[in-house]
Amino acid sequence: MTTLSPDERIAQLIMVAAYSNRGADHKKEILKLIEEQKIGGVIFFQGDPATQVRLMNDYQEASKVPLLGAIDAEWGLGMRLDNTINYPFQMALGAIQDNELLYKMGVEVAKQIKRTGLHLNFAPVVDVNNNPNNPVINYRSFGEDKFNVADKSIAYMRGMQDEHLLTTAKHFPGHGDTDTDSHYSLPQINHPLVRLDSLELYPFKKIMEAGIGGVMVAHLDIPALDTTGVPSTLSKPIISGLLKETLGFEGLIVTDAMNMKGVTNGNLPGVVDKDAILAGNDLLEFTEDVPKAISEIRKAINAGLISQKEVDQRVRKILAVKQWVGLNEYEPVSPKDIMDDVNNPEAVLLNRKLVEASLTVLKNENNMLPIRELHELKIASVSFGAKKKTAFQEALSLYAEVNHFRLPVDASEERVQEVREKLAGYDLVIGGIHDQSKFPRNSLKLSSEAQDLITELSGKKNSIFTFFKNPYVLNKIDGIENSEALIVTYQDTENAQELAAQLIFGGVSANGKLPVSVGDKFKSGDGLEVQGGIRFSYTLPEEVGMDSKMLNHHIDSLMNQAITVKATPGGQILVAKDQKVIFHKAYGEHVYHDTIKVKKDDLYDLASVTKISTSMAALMKLYEEDKFELDGTLADHLPKFKRSNKSDIPFTDILTHQARFQPWIPFWKNTLRKNGSYRWWTIKKDSSARYPIKITENMYLHRNYPNKIVKAIRKSPLREEKEYVYSDFFFILAPRVVESRTEEDFPTFLENSFYGPLGATTMGFNPEYPKNKIVPTEHDYAFRHEPIHGTVHDEGAIMLGGVSGHAGLFANANDLAKLLQMYLNMGEYGGKRYLKEETLKKFTKRQFPDSDNYRALGFDKRRPNSKGVVNNTAPDASQASFGHTGFTGIMVWMDPEVDLLYIFLSNRVSPTRENHRLYQLDTRTEIQQVLYDAMKKNVQKTDKEEIEVKEG
C-alpha cells in the first residue's frame, strides 16, 4: 500500500476485460493498461484454459502489484472457456434436494478456476426469479422460493470459498422480477420497500450472514430505494445506505459490467466509473476507458466529493482480498496437462450427479415410471425439435427395442400427420421435447402442428414426455399436464438426455422438485419421487470407486496390442460394477483392413457362451418348476437314451463335464465322400421339404440330419475315466430336453422367459439384422467354402438349423449383459425375479471341491493349474466368481464378491480358427485383471485418505 502512488491506488479499483481468443493486439492492449495505468485486475471472458493461463502469467509478470483475476463462471468454466465443463444452470440446481451436491460443485468450480490462474468468481446468482418473462435471470436463478434460493446460494458459495476462491452474490438488490435485460436498457422495479426487504433482499441477507466475500450490484432503477432514477450501481442510497449501513456488509462490493447499456445510457465512460465509486463500490468491473476513469476519480477526490482516506480504505480491501486468495505468495501457473485437470473424471461425474439429482417427475400416473414390463411392449419415441437421432433416443435403445421418429422445429403438417399415423400402432410413446439453443430460454418454436400432436398424445394413457427445456415453457403447450408421465430436465444436454432415458427404464432415481411455478399447471415444490436402480445405469468408473484413466489406458493398450498383432480384428468390452455399466467400448474393425468399424451395438457370435445363455437359463427355470432334476438322466427326458450307455448318468456329472462323454464329433465330415463331394442324401443346392435346413445360399441339409446327430451322440462310446473333459454333447441335446418339459420350442421359451422381459432385444438365434451389424467369423474352407457372416460359426450348430444349446446365440455386449447381470443379482433384474437366489447359488458353485474338477453346473469356475497358477481368469477373481468362454474369442465372467461383470466379445477366428494369438497374449484375462487392479487402487487411495485424516 505504501509503495503505491495516489493514481496507482485508484487503479487498484479497476478491472478490465481480457480474452484469451483475441490474439497479439489484444494482449498488447492489456499489457499497456497494466504497465502504464497499473490496473488492479482483469476479468477473463472467451477463450481456452491453456491460453488463459499463459496470458495471466504474462500479465502478472508485467504488474507491479499481483493482479486479481476474475471470471463470470456461474455454471463453471464452460460458461466462458472452450472444452471445459458446463455444470447445470442454477434453475436445474434449484430442483436438487441435497445441497451437499452444490457444495461439492462449488469446491470443484473453485479448483478449476484457480487452475486457470484466477481468484474471483462473479457468482452465485441469488436473485429470486419470480417473473417467468425475465429475459436475463430466469434459468440463471435457483428459482422463485427465497428460502431455496438462499440455501442453494450459500452451499455453492461455501464450496468455492472453502477453496479460497472469492465469490460475489449478485445482482444486488435483486434482478429477479424484471422483464427487461439490463445489458440493453435499464430495468425498473416498482415494488414497495416492504416487499423488497421480505423477498428480493432475503437471500442476500442470508448469504451475507453466511460469510460471502463479495456482492455485485445490478443496474436497476428501484424508486422505493432511490427516487432519483439512477441505476443502482450508481446509487449512494442503495450501496452506501442500504448495503453498507443498513445491512452492515463489509466485504468487497463490485459493480456489474460497466459496459452494459443499463448503466452507460446517458453516462460517459470514465464519468460513470467515478459515479460508481462515489456511490460506494469497491471494484469497477469492465471499465471501458481506464485513463479517463482514473482522471475522473482523481478530480472527485480533489473536489472533495470523496476523500483520499475513503479511497485508501477500498484499496486496502482490494489488497486484503488479494492476500486472502494467496497472491502475496504468487507463483506462475503451469499450463501443462491443464485440460486433463479441469476435465478430471471426478468433476465430470459430479456434473452427471447434479443432472441426475435435478431430474423432476411432475406426473407419474399408475406408477408408469419406471417402465417394468418390456415383453411384447411395442415402443416408439418421438423427438420434437430434433433433426437427427438424439442422445435421448440412443439411450432409450440401451434398454429395449424402440422405434424412433423425429419432428424438427418446422415440421410440416404432412410430416406430423405421417408420424401420427405410425404412432397409432404402438403400445407406448415416449416423447422428448427439445430446445433449439444452448440456453433454455422461455420460448417455444415448434410448429403448431407439432404442438397439436403433443397435446393429442398427452391425452392418451400410453404417453411419457420428457421436457428438455425451461419449465416455464410447459405453460405454452396445451394439455401437456395431462400426460401419464412427465419429466423435466431443465436443459437439453447430453447428460440430461441420457439420464432421462435411464430414469424412464429404472436405471436411476428421481427426487427433484420444481423450483418455479408454471402458471396454473404446476407449483414450485412439485415433484414426485421415483425409485430407480432396477436396471443398469450407465455412468463413469469413478461412481463405483474405479479409475477412468487407469481403465482406459490399460484396456485400450491391451486391445490395441491384440489388434496390432492380429490376435483379433476388433471387439467389444463391457464392464459393470454394482449394476452400473462403467466401461463399454468397441474396438477395431469387423475384419482386418475393413472399412466397417466395430460399433457397440454390433452383434457377435457367442460360441460356447451360448451354453450359459440358453441351456443353463432354461434348465435352471425348469429345475425350479420341478421339471428338471439334477439327479435325473437323459433317459428321463429323451426316451431314445433309455437303452444307451448314457442312460444312467446323472445331470450333475453331465453339467460338470465329468460324464465320460467324448469332447466332440465332427458331424459335418459325415456328409462327405472320400473325394470331398457331399453324400447324395445329405446336402443339396436348393431347398425343399426334404432339404429345409439352410447351411449357405447353395447348401441345404436333409431334414433328418439333426436326428442323425442325436443318434451319433447316443451311440458314441464313453471315456474310461470319470474325469473332467469338456464336451458339447449334452448342450447339443439341451433344446430337446427343454422342449420335452415345455409347450414351446427352445427359442420361443428363451424369448418369453428371459430375453423379452429383460429387454435383450438382439439376443437370439439366426439373427435377422443387416450384415453390417453382425461381425463375421471364420472363412470356412473345409465345409461351407465361404466366409461365415450372419450365421453361426459352429458346424454342428448350423447343421441343427442354427439353434442349439451349445452354440448359435448372437448378441451385442449390452444385451448379453442384462442376462448375466440377472445371474449376478442372483436371479433378479428390472424389478422382476427370473430365478431364485438359491438356484443361482447352487448352480454357480463348484460341485466337487475335493476333486480336480473345478466346474459348477454348466458354468466355469476359477481354475488354478497344477502349479497353483490361475489360467482361465484374472488371478484376483474370487473363488465365488463364475462365467464361461467361447471358441470365437468370447469371455464373460461374473464375480458376486465385488459385484463385477466382465464381457469380452471378439472374433479371433477371423479369418481362421488356427489363430491362437489371443490365447497366447492372454488378452482377455489381462484386461480382467486391470479391473481388479483399478478397484485395489481405489482401496489404497481411500486408506491413504483415512490415514491423512487421522494424522491431521
Cis peptide before 370 (omega within 30 of 0): yes
Residue 573 is part of which domain span?
Answer: 554-665+716-935
Copy the grid coordinates of residue 353: 450427479
- CB-based burial, 608-624: b 16+ in 10 Å, e otherwise: bbbbbbbbbbbbbbbbe
DSSP string, 372-413: ---TT--EEEEEET-SS--HHHHHHTTTS-EEEEEE-TT--H
Look at residues 203, 258, 201, 202 and name the one whose alpha carbon lies nearest to residue 234: 258
Cis peptide before 541 (omega within 30 of 0): no
Name residue 665's amino acid: I
337 torsion bin: left (phi>0), alpha (psi -120 to 50), beta (else): left
Angle at 902 between CA 898 and CA 908, to 5 degrees: 155
How far, in Å, CA of 322 to CA of 486, rounded?
48
**Domain containing residue 830: CATH number:** 3.40.710.10
Which regions in the chain score pLDDT beneath 70?
A: 866, 938-952
How far, in Å, CA of 923 to CA of 559, rounded?
7
Predicted local distance difference test score (pLDDT) of residue 949: 44
Domain assignment present for residue 549? The answer is no
Q: What share of the chain is helix, strand, coil (3-state, %, to 5)?
A: 40, 15, 45
Domain assignment present for residue 701? The answer is no
Q: Say yes or no: 74 and 145 in one domain.
A: yes
Domain assignment present for residue 834? The answer is yes
Q: Say yes or no: 87 and 185 in one domain.
A: yes
Angle at 667 between CA 665 and CA 671, to 5 degrees: 145
For 80-165, list the strands marked E by DSSP: 120-121
How far, in Å, CA of 465 to CA of 273, rounded?
50
Copy the grid coordinates of residue 836: 431364485
Helix (H) or strand (E) holding 17: strand 14-18
Q: Say yes or no: 240 and 125 in one domain.
A: yes
Domain assignment present for residue 867? The answer is yes
Q: Say yes or no: 319 and 366 in one domain.
A: no
- Cα–chain center distance at 523: 29
Look at residues 191, 301, 204 and name the one whose alpha carbon lies nearest to residue 246: 204
How far, in Å, CA of 381 to CA of 837, rounded?
35
Helix (H) or strand (E) holding 900: strand 900-906
Copy the grid coordinates of residue 492: 437439453
- CB-based burial, 556-592: b 16+ in 10 Å, e otherwise: eebbeebbeeebbbbbbbbbbbebbbbbbbbbbbbbe
Domain assignment present for residue 753? The answer is yes
Alpha helix (H) residue ranges in 580-704: 609-610, 616-624, 651-655
C-alpha separations of 923 from 568, 691, 871, 895 in Å: 10, 42, 12, 19
Quickly tell me which residue has 435377422 as its cell: 768
How far, in Å, CA of 217 to CA of 171, rounded?
5
Predicted local distance difference test score (pLDDT) of residue 670: 86
- Give phi and psi for 384, each to the nearest 5: -85, 125
How far, in Å, CA of 142 to CA of 138, rounded?
9
**CB of 171 closer than 8 Å to CB of 128:** no
How far, in Å, CA of 698 to CA of 471, rounded?
61
How far, in Å, CA of 41 to CA of 28, rounded?
16
Copy the grid coordinates of residue 568: 483379433
Domain assignment present for residue 670? The answer is no
- CB-based burial, 37-65: b 16+ in 10 Å, e otherwise: bbbbbbbbbebbbbbbbbbbbebbeebeb
- Give phi and psi for 109, each to the nearest 5: -60, -40
Q: Say yes or no: 202 and 77 in one domain.
A: yes
Tally of structural domains, the chain? 3
How far, in Å, CA of 220 to CA of 325, rounded?
30
Q: Say yes or no: 593 and 625 in one domain.
A: yes
Domain assignment present for residue 4? The answer is no
How far, in Å, CA of 82 to CA of 47, rounded?
6
**CB of 453 closer than 8 Å to CB of 419:** yes
Q: Say yes or no: 410 and 481 in one domain.
A: yes
Q: Say yes or no: 66 and 41 in one domain.
A: yes
Q: Say yes or no: 571 and 494 in one domain.
A: no
Predicted local distance difference test score (pLDDT) of residue 869: 76
Q: Is 718 exposed, middle or buried (0-12, 13-18, 19+ CB in 10 A)?
A: middle
How far, in Å, CA of 597 to CA of 773, rounded?
10
Quickly tell me which residue has 430442483 as its cell: 95
**Domain containing residue 332: CATH number:** 3.20.20.300
Q: Say yes or no: 403 and 330 in one domain.
A: no
Look at residues 359, 436, 355 and name the one whose alpha carbon lies nearest to residue 76: 355
DSSP assignment letter at 234: G
C-alpha separations of 819 from 753, 898, 903, 932 in Å: 11, 18, 12, 22
DSSP 3-state assignment of 838? helix
**CB of 791 closer than 8 Å to CB of 766:** yes
**CB of 368 closer than 8 Å to CB of 464:** yes
DSSP 3-state assignment of 891? strand
Q: Say yes or no: 329 and 365 in one domain.
A: no
What is the Rg, in whole angstroms, of the alpha carbon atoms belonging to the chain? 34
pLDDT one-digit tens code per residue, 376-429: 899 999 999 999 999 999 999 999 999 999 999 999 999 999 999 999 999 999
For 783-869, list the strands marked E by DSSP: 786-787, 809-811, 828-829, 832-833, 860-861
**CB of 379 closer than 8 Å to CB of 426:** yes
Domain assignment present for residue 254? The answer is yes
- CB-based burial, 878-901: b 16+ in 10 Å, e otherwise: eebbbbbbbbbbbbbbbbbebbbb
Q: Say yes or no: 576 and 482 in one domain.
A: no
Hey, what's the torsion of the CAs at 93, 99, 100, 102, to 10 degrees? Answer: 30
**Domain containing residue 507: CATH number:** 3.40.50.1700
C-alpha separations of 732 from 591, 615, 787, 795 in Å: 29, 9, 24, 12
How far, in Å, CA of 304 to CA of 311, rounded?
12
C-alpha separations of 189 from 177, 219, 227, 384 in Å: 7, 11, 12, 37
Look at residues 186, 187, 164 and name the one whose alpha carbon lies nearest to residue 177: 187
CB atoms within 10 A of CB 704: 13
Alpha helix (H) residue ranges in 199-307: 202-209, 236, 261-264, 271-279, 290-302
> Angle at which helices 345-358 and 494-504 pack, to 10 degrees?
60
Copy the grid coordinates of residue 613: 445363455
